[in-house]
Structure 1
Amino acid sequence: MELRQLAYVVAVAEEGGFGRAAERLGIVQSAVSQQVQRLERELGVPLFDRSTRRVRLTAAGERLLPEARAVLAAADRTRRVAAEIAAGADGMLRLGAVHGPGDRLYRVLAALADIAPRLRVRLARAAPAERLAQVRSGALDAAFVRGPATAPGLDLLPLWSDPLYAALPADHPLAGSGPSPAGGAPLRLAQLGDLPLRLAPRAHNPPFHDLVTAARRAAGPTAPAPGPPFTTLRETLTEIADDAPSWTVFYRVSDLPPVPRIAYRPLADLAVTTSLAVRSDPPPPALRRLLQAIHTVTPPC
């Protein structure tokens, strides 16, 4: 069974004859007659009564005509959806997500919904290395990643930068007026040289570890010395408040936790860049729509 055969059946039924159907379809009458006969043989039932001057549907033809129209309508819908997918207005975008400060990701998704309302987004959360691996394998179309400057086999498109923050004892001279939601004058690493730095092992987050380590090297002899390892933010902050003076560096993914005897200060010489990891192939239309949405929310780096 072919779609054109069903289209011929519908045309003959609506026009009342093979000749008029052929004129409507822009083909010769014999082609219409042959294809309808071939379909009748395949189905095993006659669709038209050809005994009169006007071709009429048989009982079987009357029953099957709505089915033929439904199949043709479904085929038309399939073509339209395919065209919209090719234009990036429909389909599925598989996107690796990252925790980030504020509601920037949600604003990007809202902008994307305005640009392409029928485009669905499937968010996947995983460790940074796993996100990059899934983009390489094709399991994800793209992924937000924070920190890395390079990713073998992928292109990293810088999107935006977020400041990093220091958490230090509230009674330290650099804490200023004491605890605050990361307000006050920004600090430089060189100013924190007398406080050991609590930093998680590189295996936990290689891009972030490398970023901070490179900044420490750039600070030279005034750079903070390594301190006890960072564990979790809450546990590390508690230890900074209760143990020997030290500090840690972090980026915000939510509101800063209120911890007694801890002050938060922004850092002047450290920021972390969020990029979109994509394959080096030409981006699919849905990905171009995502980039358009990102640029409406925040200018590119």
Structure 2
Amino acid sequence: MELRQLEYLVAIVDEGGFARAADRLHIVQSAVSQQIRRLERELGFTVFDRSHRQVRLTPAGEAFLPYAQAVIAATTAARDVATTLLAEGHNVLRIGTSEGLGEHLEAILALVTDRRPDIRIDLVAAHSAAKLAALRAGDLDAAFIRAPGDTAGLSVLELWDAELVVALPATHPAAAHPVVELADLADLPAALAPADTAAGVAELIRKACADAGFGTKPGPPFTNLQDLLAGPIATGRCWTLLYADVATRIPTRRIAFRPTDPAITIPTALVARVPATPLVAALRSAARAYAASVAGSHDRPPRSIG
């Protein structure tokens, strides 16, 4: 039994005949008749009484008709749901986020939704390696990534440089200065995020320390920032680096947040799948416009790669 056979049956009943049903269905009458005969063979009974001038349902056909109508109604409803879900899916923009984006992210998303109010945005927090993997797997449409590293096969829009500050015990001698020279931290262990979660950031930090004449001593494991600050750093066991935007939102008396000399800045980029969908194109346009508007306070304007 095929859906089209049930549709033909209902059309014949609605139109009062095979010819008018064929006109409604935009097919020849012989095709309608052939499918109804096949349906009757499969059912094992006659659906229409053809002995009269006007086509009528047999008693068995009358009993069968409501079930055919129910199948067609259910199929129509299922198609409507599928169409709605597809439309909603096309309006969903899945974006990977980075720690410390703060007002930058809010401003960019506000621009996107002003331009495309139909967009629904889903934000996913993850480390850099996970976001790159999710982009390549199709689980994300775009992602804000710090020093993204290997972006082969992806498009990259460089936006701005984010400044890092050092978090060190307030009792450390270097905390007495408005700017901390990295070399003054050489003897204190460093608790830094694992390189496998943000390889590009880890490499920039390693190079900055090497340029200052030392290699970092490994400190306590970096579990999460809150625990690290409240425990090992506040008690004088280590130091770490974090984004300046994040540091401004952390109230503490036992920890000092200071810019470093030499300064450490991390490039922030919007990485996306290619080719860009209309929604990703809208996001890139908004990010580019926002980055250009704040370029005066950063080292460089936004730049596309790939």
Structure 2 runs not aligned, ≥5 long: 292-301
Q: TM-score, normalised by structure 1?
A: 0.67
Shift of the 152–274 alpha-carbon distance from structure 1 to 2, 3 Å rule, reads: closer
Match of 2:157 in 1: 158
Match of 2:184 in 1: 194
Q: Given that residues 163 and 270 in structure 1 are in contact (C-alpha distance below 8 angstroms), is that contact kept between their aligned partners in structure 2?
A: yes
Match of 2:90 in 1: 88
1:64 to 53, 62, 67: 67
Q: Cα distance, 1:144 vs. partner?
A: 2.9
User: Following superposition of structure 1 onto structure 2, how do residues 1-301 of structure 1 map, counting pairs within 5 Å?
Assistant: 1-57=1-57, 58-74=61-77, 76-77=79-80, 80-81=83-84, 84=87, 88-89=90-91, 98-102=98-102, 104=105, 108=109, 111=113, 114-117=117-120, 121=122, 127-136=127-136, 138=137, 140-142=139-141, 144=143, 146-151=145-150, 153-158=152-157, 160-161=159-160, 162-170=162-170, 172-175=175-178, 191-196=181-186, 198=190, 200=192, 202-203=195-196, 205-216=198-209, 220=211, 223=212, 225-231=214-220, 232=222, 233=225, 234-235=227-228, 239-240=232-233, 242-243=235-236, 247-251=239-243, 256-266=249-259, 269-276=264-271, 278=273, 282-283=275-276, 285=277, 288-293=278-283, 295-296=285-286, 299=290, 301=302
Q: Cα distance, 1:211 vs. partner?
A: 1.8
The 3-state SS of whatever aligns with 2:265 is: strand
Q: Cα distance, 1:216 vs. partner?
A: 4.3
Q: Given that residues 199 and 209 in structure 1 are in contact (C-alpha distance below 8 angstroms), is that contact kept between their aligned partners in structure 2?
A: no
Relative to structure 2, which stretch is displaced further, 254-263 or 107-116? 107-116
Shift of the 236–80 alpha-carbon distance from structure 1 to 2, 3 Å rule, reads: closer
User: 2: CA distance between counterparts of 1:149 and 1:102?
Assistant: 19
What does the per-residue CA deviation read over 1:231-275, in whole Å, with 9 as the maximum and x for residues that have no partner?
34444575555548x753212558743332422245655134143
Q: Given that residues 149 and 200 in structure 2 are in contact (C-alpha distance below 8 angstroms), is that contact kept between their aligned partners in structure 1?
A: no
Shift of the 89–249 alpha-carbon distance from structure 1 to 2, 3 Å rule, reads: closer
User: 2: CA distance between counterparts of 1:74 and 1:149?
Assistant: 45
What does the per-residue CA deviation read over 1:192-244, in whole Å, with 9 as the maximum and x for residues that have no partner?
44333735264564222112233445xx4xx2644443534444575555548
Q: TM-score, normalised by structure 2?
A: 0.66
Q: Given that residues 230 and 236 in structure 1 are in contact (C-alpha distance below 8 angstroms), is that contact kept between their aligned partners in structure 2?
A: no
- Amino acid corresponding to residue 194 of structure 1 in structure 2: D
Q: Cα distance, 1:94 vs. partner?
A: 6.4
Aligned length: 271
The 3-state SS of whatever aligns with 1:31 is: helix
Q: Given that residues 98 and 125 in structure 2 are in contact (C-alpha distance below 8 angstroms), is that contact kept between their aligned partners in structure 1?
A: yes
Q: Given that residues 128 and 197 in structure 2 are in contact (C-alpha distance below 8 angstroms), is that contact kept between their aligned partners in structure 1?
A: no
Shift of the 4–243 alpha-carbon distance from structure 1 to 2, 3 Å rule, reads: closer
Moved over 6 A (4+): none
Q: Cα distance, 1:152 vs. partner?
A: 5.7
